[in-house]
């Protein structure tokens, strides 16, 4: 648990105030902190020394909620090693920059961009099928992470690895919603639709950019490496399933639109 002790010195106007001693004891986990003689009156130099103990709340918001998943998935040694290395390497400036970059893969931002692209494709009457595909992928990608997180409990690395000095590392979402990464699932779901829309010379940049964007979740200690990898895989599988369903629907609808054929 993170705590701090502040000593406040105040010059006294009257040196005749009697000396008082207050002992504050507090249990913090298995440790016992004793603060003897606070506030302490030093009559020789007429200074008052006051001890102040600050303790953050044990939990706040959804962190206070009990475990709700059916399965508790602990992180692997590799996950912990990578998260610990990131916690040692990051600085507050890096974390602030990463928070801005990772916002591009936020669920609401991706959904808004997909809706705008779908509306543009409908008005232009071109690329309607890729627009339908992307919108379905993004909509379903917004639902799947919540279903997984209802089933699987895994504590986020920013609660497990980081304890006292956070170096600017933020607290991300619910403490037990680490698996899988919703950001990575969205990125995996839109990877192939974006690749099809881009020219051939830029397609390799699509995957590299999306993987780098997903890696920001690891640097922010919002997810472990396995959470991000699982999110990307789930997104790719979701994209394949949506593509198959849309292809089968088009094979059924196309003959109905063309009408019955007359062989005579």
Q: What pLDDT is stored for residue 181 in this prediction?
A: 94
Q: What pLDDT is stored for residue 185 in this prediction?
A: 95
For 94-204, list the strands marked E by DSSP: 152-153
Cα–Cα dist 259/246, whole Å? 20
DSSP state of 234: H
Cα–Cα dist 197/65, whole Å? 43
Q: How far apart are the first and last CA of the chain?
A: 85
Residues in the chain with pLDDT values less than 50:
1-58, 61-62, 252-257, 264
Do the beta carbons of residue 171 and residue 158 sit within 8 Å?
yes
Q: What pLDDT is stored for residue 225 in this prediction?
A: 96
Can you read off the two tokens belonging to residue 27? 């249990």
Cα–Cα dist 132/31, whole Å? 58
Cα–Cα dist 177/49, whole Å? 44
Q: What pLDDT is stored for residue 260 in this prediction?
A: 52
Can you read off the two tokens belonging to residue 202? 């830029």
| Nearest C-alpha neighbor of 159 from the set 41, 2, 20 | 2
Cα–Cα dist 94/261, whole Å? 64
Q: What pLDDT is stored for residue 15 in this prediction?
A: 42
DSSP-derived secondary structure for 53-116: EE---S--GGGGSPP--SEE-PPPHHHHHHHHHHHHH--HHHHHHHHHHHGGG-HHHHHHHHHH
Which residues contact residue 171 at a Cβ distance below 8 angstroms, ignoring those fewer than 6 apart? 158, 159
pTM, to two decimals: 0.69
Structure-token match 């629907």, residue found: 249
Residues in the chain: 264
Question: pLDDT tens-digit profile of 137-166?
Answer: 999 999 999 899 889 999 999 988 887 677
**Residue 133 three-state SS:** helix
């Amino acid at each position: 648990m993170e705590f701090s002790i502040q000593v406040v010195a105040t010059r006294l106007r009257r040196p005749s105030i009697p000396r008082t001693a207050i002992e504050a004891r507090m249990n913090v986990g298995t440790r016992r902190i004793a603060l003897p003689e606070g506030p302490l009156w030093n009559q020789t130099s007429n200074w008052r020394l006051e001890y102040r103990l600050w303790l953050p709340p044990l939990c706040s918001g959804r962190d206070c909620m009990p475990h709700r998943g059916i399965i508790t998935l602990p992180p692997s040694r590799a996950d912990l090693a990578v998260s610990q290395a990131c916690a040692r390497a990051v600085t507050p400036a890096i974390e602030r920059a990463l928070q801005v970059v990772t916002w591009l893969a936020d669920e609401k931002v991706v959904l808004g961009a997909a809706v705008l692209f779908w509306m543009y494709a409908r008005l232009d009457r071109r690329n309607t099928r890729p627009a339908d595909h992307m919108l379905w992928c993004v909509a379903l990608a917004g639902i799947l992470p919540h279903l997984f997180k209802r089933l699987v409990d895994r504590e986020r690395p920013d609660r497990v690895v980081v304890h006292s000095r956070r170096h600017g590392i933020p607290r991300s979402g619910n403490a037990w919603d680490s698996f899988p990464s919703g950001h990575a699932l969205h990125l995996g779901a839109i990877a192939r639709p974006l690749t099809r829309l881009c020219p051939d010379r830029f397609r390799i940049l699509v995957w590299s950019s999306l993987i780098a964007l997903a890696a920001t979740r690891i640097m922010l200690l919002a997810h472990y490496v396995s959470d991000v990898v699982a999110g990307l895989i789930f997104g790719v599988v979701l994209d394949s399933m949506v593509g198959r369903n849309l292809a089968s629907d088009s094979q059924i609808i196309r003959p109905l639109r063309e009408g019955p054929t007359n062989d005579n």
